[in-house]
Amino acid sequence: MTIQEVWDKAREVMAPKCRACPECNGKACRGEIPGVGGIGSGSSFTVCREYLDSVKVLMDLVYEPSEIDTSIELFGRIFEVPFFMAPLGGMNGNYNGYLTDEGFANMSIRGMVESGSLAFTPDGPKDSLFDLQLPIIKDVGGLAVPTVKPWDLPKLTDKIRRAEEAGAVAVSCDIDSCGNLLLKKAGKPVYPQSQETMAEIVKSTSLPYIPKGIMTATAALRCADAGCYGIVVSSHGGRVLADSPAPCSMLPEIREAVGDRLKIFVDGGIRSGLDVFKCLALGADAVLIGRPYAIAAHGGGQEGVVLYSQKILGELRDVMVMTGCRSLADIDRSKLVL
């Protein structure tokens, strides 16, 4: 199976919800919610590609060659790559139901572990989505980050407890799903999360806690003060607030504010190893990739997921060679022209 075959197959089976475009940039699917598009004019999605394309990378071959190391330590574990799968739910809503949630969970969780990485896994209006993933996570030794919706505190901590029981290495909460229409329609109230609430959550669990949907230095500092392990700088794929800036464009400011107090993940429009490199150079520790992994799973199942990971890794290694970066620590702002 080749990546091209995976994409060709995906294009066939994902219609009409996703077109598996050669360039996944949010243009063809503008405004398609449910579906895979950005909200309104879709600019919160398209701006991600525009920003990343505008960032230029500086070649540097004047260095002593050595092995390339793309590994990263997180949650006390070593991962082979600094890119992870973003939580992707709604196989029968945003996507067309070709895959079941359980089918996708198997492909994605196992595929990412096989990739030397892991998946952030989704939650949704129905509890069954969250629950069906727990046995799979347990089966892979906990190598996943369950992402719960920002429910009220009792419901939230209950779900975290079940993640603990499955042995998950960390837990995330996409607080930006406050703007999610599906949850509104389903009568499932979700809430913003104050620093105080976050502190309670952190205290309630042994797992590293990673709020997702942080876009400002101020909010990031509140997460740090609450004792969070990390954050995901994210605009929820451009699906909850129109005219958001590109999450990656906020990285320098956020990193400067929090220093090393938080691990910083970022998502939004990341499509290549070159993009991963740019995000790390802008200030992220690691990135999440969403839609392309959905395409890879639709077109190639677990194997498609692994193939896509290998493609990204190969590109990242190539860029590291061409820029004189031997490990992720070498990837910094001096490698970019903004």
In the complex, which residues of this chain contact a copy of itself (CB under 8 A)? Answer: 40-41, 43, 47, 53, 55-65, 150, 175-176, 178-179, 191-198, 211, 213-216, 218-219, 222-223, 235, 240-245, 249-250, 272, 274, 278, 318-319, 321-324, 334, 337
Number of Cβ atoms within 10 Å of the Cβ of 308 = 24
28/242 with CB nearer a copy of itself: 242
Minimum CB separation from a copy of itself for residue 118, in Å?
Answer: 24
Task: Name the helix (H) or strand (E) containing 94.
Answer: none
**Look-up of token digits 């006390």:** 76
Minimum CB separation from a copy of itself for residue 215, in Å?
Answer: 5
Minimum CB separation from a copy of itself for residue 264, in Å?
Answer: 15
Distance CA 231, CA 173 (A): 9
Report the DSSP pairing between strands 56-57 and 336-337. Answer: antiparallel
Minimum CB separation from a copy of itself for residue 259, in Å?
Answer: 18
**Look-up of token digits 């989704």:** 122
**Look-up of token digits 């906990």:** 142
39/109 with CB nearer a copy of itself: 39
What are 177's two structure tokens?
A: 């799903």
Closest Cα partner for 100 from 76, 119, 128? 128
Distance CA 129, CA 90 (A): 9
31/116 with CB nearer a copy of itself: 31
135/192 with CB nearer a copy of itself: 192
28/322 with CB nearer a copy of itself: 322
Minimum CB separation from a copy of itself for residue 334, in Å?
Answer: 7
Minimum CB separation from a copy of itself for residue 326, in Å?
Answer: 10
Closest Cα partner for 292 from 263, 317, 315? 315
13/217 with CB nearer a copy of itself: 217
**DSSP letters of 240-306?**
SSTTPPPGGGGHHHHHHHHTTSSEEEE-SS--SHHHHHHHHHHT-SEEEE-HHHHHHHHHHHHHHHH
Minimum CB separation from a copy of itself for residue 40, in Å?
Answer: 8
Beta bridge partners of 241: none
Minimum CB separation from a copy of itself for residue 76, in Å?
Answer: 26
28/153 with CB nearer a copy of itself: 153
213: left (phi over 0), alpha (psi -120 to 50) or beta: left
Distance CA 89, CA 69 (A): 32
92/216 with CB nearer a copy of itself: 216
